[in-house]
Structure 1
Amino acid sequence: MKKILFATHSKGKTEEFQRFIKNCKIFSLSDLDLKDIPEENGKTFEENALIKANYWQDKIDHSFVIVAEDAGIEVDAMNGKPGVHSARYAKNDKEANLKMLKELKDVPECKRAARYVSVFAIVQHGEPNIIWRSTCEGSILKKPCGNKGFGYDPIFFSKSLNKSFGNVSPEQKDTVSHRGKNLKKLQKWINLQTTSQSSF
Structure 2
Amino acid sequence: MQLVFATNNGNKLKEVQSLIPEHIQLLSLKDIGCFEDVPETQLTIEGNAIQKAEYIKAQYGFDCFADDTGLEVEALDGEPGVYSARYAGEQRDAHDNMDKLLNKLSTKEDRSALFKTVVALHLNGELKTFTGICRGSISTTKSGDQGFGYDPIFKAMGYDKTFAEMSLDEKNAIGHRGKAVRLLVSFLINI
Aligned residue pair count: 187
TM-score by length of 1: 0.89
Where does structure 1 lack aligned partners over 5 or more consecutive residues? 194-200
Equivalent residue for 1:131?
129
Which SS does the other structure have where 2:37 is aligned?
coil
The answer to whether structure 1 residue 148 and structure 2 residue 146 are counterparts is yes
Residue 8 of structure 1 aligns to a residue whose secondary structure is coil
Report the counterpart of residue 53 of structure 1 in structure 2. 53
> Could you tell me which amino acid in structure 1 is paired with residue 134 of structure 2?
C
Q: Deviations over 1:144-199 (max 9, x none)?
A: 01111100000001114332111111100010100000111122122112xxxxxx
Report if aligned partners of 1:160, 1:176 keep a CA contact under 8 Å in 2. Answer: no
Using the aligned pairs only, state the percent identity. Answer: 34
Aligned partners of 1:106 and 1:30: how far apart in 2?
43
Contact 2:5 2:27 in 1 (8 A): yes
Partner of 1:138: helix, strand, or coil?
Answer: strand
Separation in 2, partners of 1:160, 1:169: 16
By how many angstroms is 1:132 displaced? 1.3
Task: Classify the secondary structure of the residue corresponding to 1:189.
Answer: helix
Cα shift readout 1:55-78 (whole Å, capped 9, x = no counterpart): 1101113xx321011111000111
* Secondary structure at the counterpart of residue 83 of structure 2: helix
Q: What's 1:105 paired with? A: 106
CA change 1:160–1:32 in 2 (3 A) is: farther
- Secondary structure of 1:73's counterpart equals strand
What is the correspondence of 1:41-120 to structure 2 with a 5 Å cutoff?
41-61=41-61, 64-90=62-88, 91=91, 92-108=93-109, 111-120=110-119
| Separation of aligned partners in 2, 1:74 and 1:153 | 13
Which structure is larger by alpha-carbon Rg, 1 or 2? 1
C-alpha displacement of 1:138: 0.5
State the distance in 2 between where 1:160 and 1:84 align.
25
Q: Secondary structure at the match of 2:32?
A: coil
What is the root-mean-square deviation in Å for CA atoms of aligned residues? Answer: 1.3
One-letter code of the match for 1:153? D
TM-score by length of 2: 0.93
Q: Distance in 2 between matches of 1:66 and 1:17?
A: 13
Amino acid at match of 1:152: Y
- 2:120 partner amino acid: A
1:6 maps to 5
